[in-house]
Structure 1
């Protein structure tokens, strides 16, 4: 069966946010046109040999271009294979996560060798240069993500040509973020309602950019598209589950999580990641997780002496989580009294199933939401036990947000319109959780 997302003939137009990033970069780096730039209607917008600067933004953004902008541009000190390999070598010597991977393999060579045959077309190199200059943290994220993916690929016994494809998928998986509004980069920006479609779309944009390069192959395109899927079907953009996700896509989706934890949590990332993987074992491919968990054990022991959460913080996390479950029970009661029935169980059933799955996972982790008070009393004086509980609670609160995200993405219209008692109950609970998270 063909996939319309992969069979479509659509291409990525140079959207305003990408044009702005290119012209802003040109204020600091020499960017020159190799050919004249024309609008789709044939109007010459910029001469060959012209220097690009931010003043050209207003002219370019008013027109649909005949060809992608970066096919006509060259930039000084562009990303190339030599600079990529040098950046990777430095990371393998100094950054905590790449250093951990190198030590586990006993040698940096398995992580460096696939880069030697990695195709890098001029337009792709230009996009990576924009990413490096305008979004340096995402550029470094892409390199770390690539290294984690390669580690998992090596451990999984992939062939050399497969590792090269995997390196390309890891390196290029977030190119679509170049076309996103900069407000997505603001940690205080809360994404709600229909605006989430832009977040869901970025893997599609990345896939289209990879496909337009014409050198990476379908397996790389598919993997890039799938890097936010989950094994239990709760991911995006297609909500695939299990073996419907390609082998390379499964490697990327786990690599995203591993990389994110080492970038987001300076305090005990290995310990927190280990707990999250155990708490969410249905979301991630078990054979690949088995390659990650041993890495984390020794690292967790080394991190255990660092600053641990305070008791009052843990009480607050437990209280928030318990209230979320109570709030849903109240919503269910109102739904039943309001005439709820099986015919309107869409968003209602989604929230119910998500919370029941979360409750089962918490029970398996020894942290059932009804037992937090007793558990906290039992753990008094056990700093390490309290820290582990705090990590579980933080992850559970994140899972609440993920349930809200999925519900709003799938049933936005029903929630907005209050089309059934179930939709009303789900909408009220989602709003409550959003207030909880923002507070």
Structure 2
């Protein structure tokens, strides 16, 4: 494990997580969720009898005791997510969402995923968790469906063995099981995630990995895909900051699919291309090229781009960010001796800021005079379009860097953390 990796641990065993148990019992308020076995506390006391309907009235009883077995293994939902319902979800996506219909069509065998879903043998624990996700976190459920579609299509395009395709499909469907154990309050869009809260987000791949280990149908490829789907080739990912060949192929495929789904949902197809161009050191180039072929971005896609943001505000934020970095860079170089651990821990920061500066120069603009370039570009439509495109890319880089600083902050000394606060404020303003 990389010595610069933050210490990420589970706060409590996954089967005792109150946020997930609450979600399960809330599902029981709207459909039948039945205990198909007696539920015991670890000291032998029976808490719930076989056949009892589980609902929110039982929440406190279940959360105040340590159970002898995971809750998932003792419950059955009346209307569970199963292979049949997953196929129906896939049909709906293909019917109503053109980009996903295009992706499957360009694989050359658009029916292969439906056949793979139909032949899957889902463990009861998996069906219950997918059911809870569908009922209580529908946006996360659809993210999983979309990500699975992209991941499976990539596995087809890369001509991966059938066993790996099946593992990638299952891993993609279950890759965010750990997120069901995160307090939903900190995940709402309006909430500003604190450094301590972000730790719970970073632990979700480990939680998901623990949850599926030992379940029927999960190969090593599937469990590694879940554990490593936020790792990046350059070591900038989490939870273990793995690099290069240390990251399994199924996880590399899932990483690209996961980011692509989020970008498609939030932006447009040209932004998807931009994100992977900027992250070329972080993702497997063969997989990204396969994604490009599946997306097959056309001139029509370019015409459908969403309106650009206010370029003046973007330039002002970038100018302030670059000025802050110039000051901070000098302080770090002066105070960080080679023997100090902060020097190594902050290498990523120098690299990311150098990438931003390089991007500005490659676009033909002067990093030291961003405001004047905006004035010039106002009278040149082509230059203004290029400037707006570059600013959008810089915003994504800034948002990604802000998250990375948050994640690595616990490794740094208090003086280093304090020095980064001003830069972090500037980065967050660009989100």
User: Do both proteins adopt the same fold according to a TM-score greater than 0.5, normalized to the shorter chain?
Assistant: yes
Q: Aligned in 2, Cα 1:223/1:64: closer, same or farther, shift over 3 Å?
A: same
Counterparts of 1:317 and 1:168 in 2: how far apart (Å)? Answer: 41
Structure 1 residue matching 2:76: 3-state secondary structure: strand
Alignment map for 1:135-174 (pairs within 5 Å): 135-174=137-176
2:424 maps to what in 1?
430
Structure 1 residue matching 2:165: 3-state secondary structure: helix
Q: Aligned in 2, Cα 1:26/1:300: closer, same or farther, shift over 3 Å?
A: farther
CA contact (8 A) 1:23 1:56 kept: yes
1:342 maps to what in 2?
338
Counterparts of 2:182 and 2:304 in 1: how far apart (Å)? Answer: 40
Superposed CA RMSD: 2.6
Counterparts of 1:100 and 1:393 in 2: how far apart (Å)? Answer: 29
2:285 maps to what in 1?
286
1:3-47 residue CA offsets vs partner (Å, 9 max, x unmatched): xx9xx9x96323000010011111111111111111111111111
2:104 to 102, 105, 121: 102
1:123 maps to what in 2?
125
1:70 maps to what in 2?
72
CA contact (8 A) 1:211 1:221 kept: yes
2:398 to 392, 397, 400: 400
Higher deviation after alignment, 149-158 or 279-288 = 279-288
Report how many aligned residue pairs link the two structures: 421
Unaligned stretches of 5+ residues in structure 1? none
Alignment map for 1:236-315 (pairs within 5 Å): 236-265=238-267, 269-299=268-298, 301-305=300-304, 307-309=306-308, 313-315=310-312
Q: Aligned in 2, Cα 1:384/1:229: closer, same or farther, shift over 3 Å?
A: farther
Alignment map for 1:370-409 (pairs within 5 Å): 370=368, 372-373=370-371, 375-377=373-375, 379-380=377-378, 386-387=384-385, 389-409=387-407
Residue 347 of structure 1: CA displacement? 4.4
1:184 maps to what in 2?
186
Residue 299 of structure 1: CA displacement? 4.0
Higher deviation after alignment, 170-179 or 210-219 = 210-219
Alignment map for 1:356-371 (pairs within 5 Å): 356-364=354-362, 369-370=367-368
Counterparts of 2:81 and 2:143 in 1: how far apart (Å)? Answer: 15
Which runs of at least 4 in structure 1 moved beyond 6 Å after TM superposition? none
Counterparts of 1:388 and 1:121 in 2: how far apart (Å)? Answer: 51
Alignment map for 1:218-237 (pairs within 5 Å): 218-237=220-239
**Which of the pair has the greater relative contact order for Cα pairs under 8 Å at 6+ separation?**
2
Q: Aligned in 2, Cα 1:55/1:11: closer, same or farther, shift over 3 Å?
A: closer
Residue 182 of structure 1: CA displacement? 0.7
1:193 maps to what in 2?
195
Q: Aligned in 2, Cα 1:104/1:409: closer, same or farther, shift over 3 Å?
A: same
Counterparts of 1:302 and 1:430 in 2: how far apart (Å)? Answer: 34
Normalising by structure 1, we get a TM-score of 0.88
Counterparts of 2:244 and 2:344 in 1: how far apart (Å)? Answer: 22
Residue 179 of structure 1: CA displacement? 0.8
Structure 2 residue matching 1:213: 3-state secondary structure: coil
2:349 maps to what in 1?
351
1:170-197 residue CA offsets vs partner (Å, 9 max, x unmatched): 1111111111101232112222323221
Higher deviation after alignment, 280-289 or 124-133 = 280-289
Counterparts of 1:235 and 1:393 in 2: how far apart (Å)? Answer: 24
Residue 314 of structure 1: CA displacement? 1.4
2:4 maps to what in 1?
none
Q: Aligned in 2, Cα 1:156/1:392: closer, same or farther, shift over 3 Å?
A: same
Counterparts of 1:380 and 1:437 in 2: how far apart (Å)? Answer: 21
Residue 400 of structure 1: CA displacement? 2.4
Q: Aligned in 2, Cα 1:54/1:200: closer, same or farther, shift over 3 Å?
A: same
